[in-house]
Amino acid sequence: GSHAVRHFSKNHTVWQCDVVVDYVTPHYMQVDATNADYASIFETYHFDLCINCSGAASVPDSLINPQKDFMLNVVNVYRQLDAIRKYTTKCRYINLSSAAVYGNPEYLPIDEKHALEPISPYGLHKKMAEAICQLFYDNFKIPTCSLRIFSAYGAGLQKQLFWDLYQKSKNNQVVSLFGTGKETRDFIHVLDVIHAIDSVINHAAFTHDIVNVASGQELTIKEVAETFFSIYDPKVQVLFQHQERKGDPSNWVADLSKLHSYGFQGQVNLFEGLTNYVKWLQEIE
């Protein structure tokens, strides 16, 4: 969310909405994490565009507390769209979804027409949120769009693989991971996610478009983990347990034909992105 604010504030008035209490900025609205009053927000301010960066973003956490994940990723999307329906129907709505809706793919690269077979509560809830966006477009003509983001990383993101590698290596020279290392993901730097959102805003029809957001490059967990530690701490060794982690698919890479048709081209390669990420990690240590 903070990356989106910085980018779009260059040419637009951007309001932020979050649960943080002591955030100091003139265009900020605090909401209750468990019972956000979106109605009063959209009744007071008639926005042209709403980018929903909120919600939970952890497959393991969704397995531990699926109800919390449901509330954050499904109920909040419904509440936001219902407030838009009541007070500002021309507001375009971008829902940040996830590649987790696909589950284990039947073919690669994965296009937006691929069957949705999520294998975690998180993936299921993202699928449900997309269905809600479709419902509000079909029944109330609320302009919506869902972006299926693959493996995002970058400064400020304290989650997923690279943050996990950082945490595990703080007091250990040997880091143990699930799987074999041959599993693959499609990594995209957070700044490229923002560029993708910009492309969608300028080119999508908002007839509940579905758009993959990724780099289009399939990389093994082993090679990206080794790349990370070659930058952060070359002394760290990575071992794989050869045990699957529940909720994790085996292989992912996105078909980006639709996003490319909007003029998007990725700008941050993995080595550059990880170098910047490591710099941020060192700043917060």
Residue pLDDT, tens place only, 233-259: 999 999 999 998 888 889 999 999 999
- What the block records as the tokens of 64 is 């531990």
CA distance 203 to 271: 29
- Cβ-contact 148, 95 below 8 angstroms: no
- For the segment 200-242, what is each residue's pLDDT rounded down to a tens digit? 999 999 999 999 999 999 999 999 999 999 999 999 999 999 9
CA distance 11 to 21: 27
Total domains in the chain come to 1
Which CATH number covers residue 64?
3.40.50.720
Nearest residue to 122 (alpha-carbon basis) of 76, 198, 56: 56
Angle in degrees, CA 271, 272, 278, rounded to 5: 85
Alpha carbon separation from 123 to 66, 69, 162, 183, 247 (Å, rounded): 11, 10, 20, 18, 9
Q: What pLDDT does 240 receive? A: 96
The pTM score is 0.92
DSSP string, 172-188: -SEEEESS-S--EE-EE
- For the segment 141-159, what is each residue's pLDDT rounded down to a tens digit? 999 999 999 999 999 888 8
CA distance 181 to 140: 46
Give the domain extent around 186: 2-284
